[in-house]
Amino acid sequence: MSRPEDHLPPDLFYNDAESRKYTTSSRIQHIQSSMTHRALSLLSLSSPSLILDIGCGSGLSGSILSSVAPEDGGPHVWIGLDISESMLGVALEREVEGDLFLADAGQGVPFRPGTFDAAISISAVQWLCNAESSEESAQGRLTRFFNGLYASLRRGGRAVCQFYPRNEEQKRMVSSAAIRAGFGAGLLEDDPGTKSAKTYLVLTVGGGELAGDITGVVEGLDDVDVVDGRRGGGKVKRGERKGGKAWIIRKKEQMERKGKVVKPNSKYTGRKRKIAF
């Protein structure tokens, strides 16, 4: 089955007709409900929380957030963000309880630092792996998203992003972008090796042990594959020569993470040019 993100950007793919078709499908409703409940169980929230729903669409996940009440208090409060005006239009018609924002997550998360207790994203992050113009890169979009998400969560906050990676390389690209933003990160896959496989990126905000190992922080994550990584510094590293190949490649990687378009590496990268007389 072809992937929707291979055809058009999400704001164009999810037009009025496609948005209504998506929302009224009983199959999609069931899958969306199952994945949202799974994300909530991974968040393990013990009290009513302010949750950001990234790629909220027509509010299918939000409706579940509004109906679930932790043991200590009432239901969660949520704010939804989506790039499709048509999807948000359907959400308004359905009179969902959350506030809705029209925005492109690939350009960042437009909220004040520390606004949210938690965040979820269902079937949306894979759309950020596509660059729609030569002025952008998938890495740049992921970097802006995870940097913005990290800033918008309070210290100790958590996020769960369910997505459909195309392959292992894309899975690594997404998790690496989250780690560079500062998250403690782990990947969990339900029903691996089957057509119904679901991948969840579980993220925590904090320092110390939180930055490296999340299995002891989020309940029920004994089987999570913890992704290790560290944020790089900006100084010349030991063994590097400024202007040398390793230095140039590292600088180009930094530019890609910022969303800049750079030339591909080759055997000539960093090689000194001979002066012609």
Tokens representing 44 are: 């393990």
Q: Assess contact for 108 and 181: CB atoms under 8 A.
A: no
Based on the fold, state whether residues 202 and 246 are members of the same structural domain.
no
Q: How many CB atoms lie within 10 A of CB 186?
A: 25
Q: In sequence order, what E strands does the chain have? A: 50-54, 77-82, 99-102, 116-122, 153-163, 184-190, 198-204, 225-227
Say whether pLDDT at 257 is over 70: no
Residue 73 binned pLDDT confidence (cut-offs 50, 70, 90): confident
Task: Kindly state the percentage of the chain with pLDDT values over 90.
Answer: 58
**Segment 143-180, tens digit of pLDDT:** 999 999 999 999 999 999 999 998 999 999 999 999 99
Report pLDDT for 147: 96
Residues 169 and 249 in one domain: no
Least confident window among 63-67, 218-222, 248-252, 267-271: 218-222
Closest residue by Cα to residue 109 from 139, 161, 144, 140: 144
Same domain, 15 and 48: yes
Residue 97: pLDDT band with limits 50, 70, 90: very high
The per-residue pLDDT for range 18-62, each reduced to its tens digit, is 999 999 999 999 999 999 999 999 999 988 999 999 999 999 999
**Which residue segment(s) compose the domain that 244 sits in?**
234-277
pLDDT at 229 over 50: no
Cβ contact 89:22 at 8 Å: no
In one-letter notation, the amino acid at residue 239 is G
Residue 251's pLDDT band (cuts 50, 70, 90): confident
Which structure tokens are listed for 27? 């199959």
Please tell me the distance from the alpha carbon of residue 36 to that of residue 59, in angstroms, as a whole number. 11
Q: What is the pLDDT of residues 2-16, one digit of tens each?
A: 788 887 888 888 999
Q: How far apart are CA 140 and CA 142, in angstroms?
A: 5
DSSP code string of 230-267? ----SSPPTT--TTSHHHHHHHHHHHHHTT---PPP-T
Q: Are residues 82 and 135 in the same domain?
A: yes
Total domains, the chain: 2
Exposed (0-12), middle (13-18) or buried (19+): which is 96, by Cβ within 10 Å?
buried
Asked if 246 contacts 230 with a C-beta cutoff of 8 angstroms, the reply is no
**Residue bearing the bigger pLDDT, 56 or 70:** 56
Give CA 57 to chain center in angstroms: 15
Local confidence band at 249 (pLDDT 50, 70, 90 cut-offs): confident
Q: pLDDT band for 264, please (50, 70, 90 cuts).
A: confident
- pLDDT band, very low/low/confident/very high, at 210 (cuts 50, 70, 90): very low
Strands 153-163 and 184-190: unpaired
Res 9: pLDDT: 83
Q: Domain check: are 131 and 245 in the same one?
A: no
CA separation, residue 42 to residues 13, 112, 201 (Å): 30, 25, 10
> Based on the domain organization, do 75 and 155 belong to the same domain?
yes
Instruction: Specify the higher pLDDT residue, 131 or 17.
Output: 17
Do 171 and 263 sit in the same domain of this protein? Answer: no
**Do both 183 and 221 map to the same domain?**
yes
Statement to judge: residues 192 and 263 lie in one domain:
no
* Residues 112, 54 share a domain: yes
The pLDDT value given to residue 272: 66
By residue count, the chain amounts to 277
Residue where one domain finishes, among candidates 188, 212, 227? 227
Mean pLDDT of the residues in the chain: 83
Residue 184, number of CB atoms within 10 A of its CB: 27
Residue 117 in tokens = 């207790």
Q: 160 forms bridges with which residues in the sheet?
A: 120, 202
In 3D space, the residue among 144, 121, 137, 159 whose CA is nearest the CA of residue 35 turns out to be 121
Same domain for 275 and 143: no
pLDDT at 216: 45
Same domain, 38 and 95: yes
pLDDT at residue number 225: 52
What CATH number is associated with residue 66? 3.40.50.150
Q: What is the pLDDT of residue 172?
A: 93
